[in-house]
Amino acid sequence: MSSRQDAHSYRALVTGATGFLGGALVRRLAADGWQVTGLGRNPQAGAALTHAGVHFLAADLRNRDAIIAACAGQEIVFHAGAAVATWGRYADFYATNVGGTESVIEGCRRHNIHRLVHVSTPSIYFGYQDRLDVREDDPLPKRQPNAYAATKLLAEARIAAAHRAGLPVVSLRPRALFGPGDPTIFPRVIAAVQQRRLRIVGNGANVQDLSYIDNIVDGLIAAGLAGAHVLGKVYNLTNGEPVRVWDKLRLLCAQLSLPFPHRRVPFRVAFAAASALETLYTALPALGEPPLTRYTVSLLACTMTLSLAAAAADLGYHPRVTVDEGIGRFGEWWQARSEL
């Protein structure tokens, strides 16, 4: 793919456009003058995208014909859509994350797309233990922590096979996205704090990578426009500044005038409790999602950081917004939203 300077003329499709990352991406592309089509399931979010100048298509990733047809006339496809959760039926994750990716691949093949940028996840690295400076080619755990990670790993295998068959693809693994519009990470923490349910798991000194949303959008666009040297490769994306998780939650609580939790629970105790809950909720699916899982307990207590060396070298990726700046922006957005 040529590195044209007039990126405004590119025609791009973004799946998952009614989600956090996909929505941020389509808005940036539209603001920059791209001819962008956003595809997603949420009609209300789709109406907001239309108002922002995005051509919106209402479609489910499980609708193979609709996904293939949506690729027609596009030059770049950003596949950011996925079923994202820590709990749920494997078949549902498979249908969206694997089946949906297969449909995107087929659409790109049929319509001669110049490049497919596939959004994967570093959750596939997670094995309930500390890991530092993980590179893209480091060994993976023998078993994935949940159905989301397992099916995203299968989707990556489909992407790799498509590249071997000649499709121009590049994959990204962004880590723990946050920022204004975040529907998951910080809102769940805030709810747990407000309900006095949050406990410091372990010693509170664990380190994690976070990723401010605008930085990840930068990375996606860079992957879409980079030279052919990136094709077939996979890149970690984070803020590149590992932080103590509980220190940053304390910062957020102070900004929002929330009481920071001081009660602690040993990691082994929390992990055992989560394991028991998972067993119970698996046996009784009508109960829904357990209030605690081994994955979420481990996220709160374990250390995991990723290497950005490959993304910096090949994509020129250098995060512009720091974690503290990002937390400040999220806090301002949350307060403004709460006052409405």
What tokens appear for 145 in the block? 């922590």
Longest dimension (CA), the chain: 56
Q: How many residues does the chain have?
A: 340
Is residue 148 annotated as part of the catalytic site, yes or no?
yes
**Cα dihedral 225, 126, 60, 67 sign:** positive
Between strands 243-244 and 207-208, the pairing is antiparallel
What tokens appear for 164 in the block? 């071997």
Alpha carbons 52 and 96: distance in angstroms, whole number:
27
What tokens appear for 44 in the block? 């209300």
Residue 277 CA, chain-centre distance (Å), reads: 26
The total of other beta-carbon atoms located within 10 Å of residue 168's CB is 18
Q: Which of 83, 78, 107, 80 is nearest to 95 (CA)?
A: 83
Beta bridge partners of residue 77, listed in sequence order = 13, 116
Helix (H, G, I), strand (E, B) or coil at 177: strand
Q: Which of 307, 301, 299 is nearest to 206 (CA)?
A: 301
Catalytic annotation, pick one of 148, 212, 295, 317: 148
Provide the 8-state DSSP code for 186.
H
What end-to-end distance do the CA atoms of the chain give, in Å? 46
Between strands 264-265 and 200-201, the pairing is parallel
Q: Which of 158, 147, 143 is nearest to 92 (CA)?
A: 147
Q: Give the residue numbers marked as catalytic.
A: 148
